[in-house]
């Protein structure tokens, strides 16, 4: 079972998981801040969560769309607040998975390549280039799908939080161990 740090229901309400609160003191501080609260958590999660529907978009576009959706502004007015930046870093560390990170990077690049392809006008002179690009896009999609299969297989087989009972520690656990030394 995959460890969930934050849940957002259909109405957009944010629920921090009780068992994970101790792992997220900065995120909890944002949540409790009366000038930030649930809306800021929703903003952070919508932009940085691996399961976010916005995740396939480039970061700047994600920030713009989510800010407009939540705050009715193109930019989040508190996006560069120190506490928000610390909460973002904390959230990213806690959910980090190298396969998902690789998959998301591939999706972002696929989006950018598709925009380039979409902007190309077919001519007699570039038809071979267009066909070559289509083939390369298909190869990239196949590679991305293989990584997605690995991620889904990993999610199905995961039964405990990384680091318990083994020498494989998550980035957060490694960071905490280094601070303890």
Residue 63: is its pLDDT beyond 60?
yes
Q: What is the pTM of this model?
A: 0.60
Q: What is the pLDDT of residues 127-176, one digit of tens each?
A: 999 999 999 999 999 999 999 998 888 777 654 333 333 345 444 445 55
Q: What is the pLDDT of residues 13-57, one digit of tens each?
A: 666 665 666 678 898 899 889 999 889 998 998 999 877 888 878
What's the DSSP call for residue 55? T
Confidence (pLDDT) at 65? 94
Q: Are 16 and 73 members of one domain?
A: yes
How far is it, in rounded angstroms, from Cα 22 to Cα 161? 14
Q: 3-state class of 110 per DSSP?
A: helix
Q: Is the pLDDT of residue 5 over 80?
A: no
Number of Cβ atoms within 10 Å of the Cβ of 62: 18
pLDDT attached to residue 53 = 82
Please say if the pLDDT value at position 61 is more than 50.
yes
Q: Are residues 89 and 115 in the same domain?
A: no
Tell me the CA distances in angstroms from 84 to 36, 38, 139, 154, one per residue in order.
9, 12, 39, 30
Residues 34 and 46 in one domain: yes
70-84: pLDDT as tens digits:
999 999 989 999 999
Bridge partners for 14 per DSSP: 8
Residue 1 lies in a domain: no
User: Are residue 131 and residue 90 in the same domain, yes or no?
Assistant: no
Residue recorded with tokens 């161990």? 177
Choose one of 56, 74, 95: the last residue of a domain. 95
Q: How crowded is residue 120: how many other Cβ atoms within 10 Å of its Cβ?
A: 11
Specify the pLDDT at position 100. 85
The residues near 48 (Cβ < 8 Å, ≥ 6 apart) are 88, 91, 92, 95
The number of domains in the chain is: 2
pLDDT tens figures, 85-111: 999 999 888 888 888 889 888 988 898
Tell me 2's DSSP state.
P
**pLDDT at site 22:** 65
Same domain, 62 and 76: yes
Domain that holds residue 145: 98-180
- End residue of a domain, out of 95, 123, 157: 95
Joined tokens for residue 27: 């995120």
Which two structure tokens, joined as six digits, stand for 112?
A: 């950018």
Give the angle subtended at the CA of 105 by the CAs of 156 and 96, to the nearest 5°.
50
Total residues found in the chain within this entry:
181
CA atoms within 13 A on the CB side of 33: 17
pLDDT at 152: 85
Q: Are 65 and 116 part of one and the same domain?
A: no
Residue 60, in any domain of the structure: yes
């Amino acid at each position: 079972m995959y460890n969930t740090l934050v849940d957002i229901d259909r109405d957009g309400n944010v629920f921090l998981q009780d068992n994970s609160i101790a792992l997220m003191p900065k995120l909890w501080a944002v949540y409790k801040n009366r000038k930030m609260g649930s809306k800021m958590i929703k903003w952070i999660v919508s932009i940085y969560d691996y399961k976010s529907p916005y995740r396939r978009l480039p970061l700047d576009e994600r920030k713009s769309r989510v800010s407009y959706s939540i705050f009715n502004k193109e930019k989040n007015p508190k996006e560069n607040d120190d506490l928000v930046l610390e909460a973002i870093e904390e959230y990213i560390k806690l959910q980090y998975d190298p396969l998902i990170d690789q998959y998301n990077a591939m999706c972002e690049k696929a989006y950018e390549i598709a925009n380039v392809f979409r902007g190309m006008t077919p001519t007699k002179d570039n038809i071979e280039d267009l066909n070559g690009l289509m083939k390369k896009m298909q190869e990239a999609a196949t590679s991305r799908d293989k990584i997605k299969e690995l991620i889904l297989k990993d999610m199905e087989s995961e039964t405990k939080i990384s680091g318990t009972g083994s020498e494989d520690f998550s980035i957060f656990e490694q960071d905490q161990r280094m601070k303890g030394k």
